[in-house]
Amino acid sequence: MNYVWIWLVAMLLSLGLGFLLGRALMLRKRRHMEQYVSEVMEQHLAEVQTMYSQVRGWRHDYRNHIQTMQAYVEMQAYDALAVYLRDLTDTVTLTDQVIKTGNIAMDAILNSKVSLARAQGIHVDISAVVPTGIVISDVDLCQMIGNLMDNAVEACLKIKKKEDRFLRVYIDVIKEQLYIYILNATQESPRRLGGHNLSSKGGRHGFGLQRVDQVIAKYGGYLERQDEPGVFATEIFLPLAHK
């Protein structure tokens, strides 16, 4: 009889220990994810602030640029003027905010990511429309888009020839759902397990994919990842309102 009690106590202790270990691992994973989200938000904020600082700086120097060009004209130094205009055009191209989706938060993250991508020699084509008042929070939306854009840019930068680097983004409303399509050049195919893409490395990249999946699941959306030789595509549908 004593052996039965000893066995029962041992089983209870084993179950209790297993529960505690499982809970500890879950809490640890949650803390890592929260830390990752915080770090990514800080990174995105820093990128946006850098872009707007560049824009403000150019606007602040606008009068100086006009005066300089006027001086070149008065001196008939047209060759020097041409060089100055070329350099100035390059600067404006990197800082010009041209993406207006209708959603301020998305405008900020997309302009930031696209500016950084173009600055690194990636050809970007983008068309984006995001309505206001949607059920998806700005934080979730920007986290998801930021991670997708980061992964796409990272894949492009692994391609040695700049002329082969490209990124295409299309965001719009289709059948009362927010449709997101991102296609990028790549030189490698992602590993798969059970239909899900796996990161080739851990850390921030892996957490980024998890974060995208979590946002899709949170809103009951649809996610499809497709990889073919030389390209990788992510297609997403998210409901605009509560189901």
Give the pLDDT of residue 38: 56
In a domain, 198, yes or no: yes
Is residue 200 situated within a structural domain?
yes
DSSP letter at 196 equals E
Query: Nearest Cα to 139, choosing from 210, 215, 207?
Result: 215
Rounded-to-integer distance, Cα 239 and Cα 131, Å: 12
The encoded tokens of residue 40 equal 């990514």
Domain count, the chain: 1
For the stretch 31-57, pLDDT in tens is 655 565 555 556 655 656 665 565 565
Residue 13 burial by Cβ neighbours in a 10 Å radius (0-12, 13-18, 19+): exposed
Cβ atoms of 135 and 239 within 8 Å: the answer is yes
DSSP per position, 41-108: HHHHHHHHHHHHHHHHHHHHTHHHHHHHHHHHHHTT-HHHHHHHHHHHHHHHHHH------S-HHHHH
Is residue 139 situated within a structural domain? Answer: yes
In a domain, 72, yes or no: no
64, amino acid identity: N
Cα–Cα nearest to 38, from 143, 137, 187: 143
Q: CATH number of the domain that 141 lies in?
A: 3.30.565.10
Residue 92 within any structural domain of the chain:
no
Please give the sequence-ordered ranges of beta strands (E in DSSP) within the chain, or none if there are none: 123-128, 166-174, 177-185, 191-193, 196-198, 222-228, 231-239
Q: What is the model's pTM?
A: 0.61
Is 228 domain-assigned?
Answer: yes
Q: Is 191 helix (H, G, I), strand (E, B) or coil?
A: strand
Q: Is residue 64 part of a domain?
A: no
173 lies in some domain: yes
Give the per-residue pLDDT at 42.
61
Are the C-beta atoms of 143 and 37 separated by less than 8 Å? yes
**Nearest-angstrom CA–CA distance, 48 and 54:** 10
| Domain carrying residue 223 | 98-239
Q: What is the pLDDT along the chain (243 residues), one digit of tens a residue?
A: 555 556 555 555 665 666 556 666 666 666 655 565 555 556 655 656 665 565 565 555 666 767 777 777 888 888 877 887 777 766 655 555 467 888 887 888 888 888 888 888 999 999 999 988 889 988 888 889 988 998 999 999 999 998 999 999 999 999 889 999 999 999 876 555 344 454 444 444 466 778 889 889 999 999 999 888 899 999 999 998 866
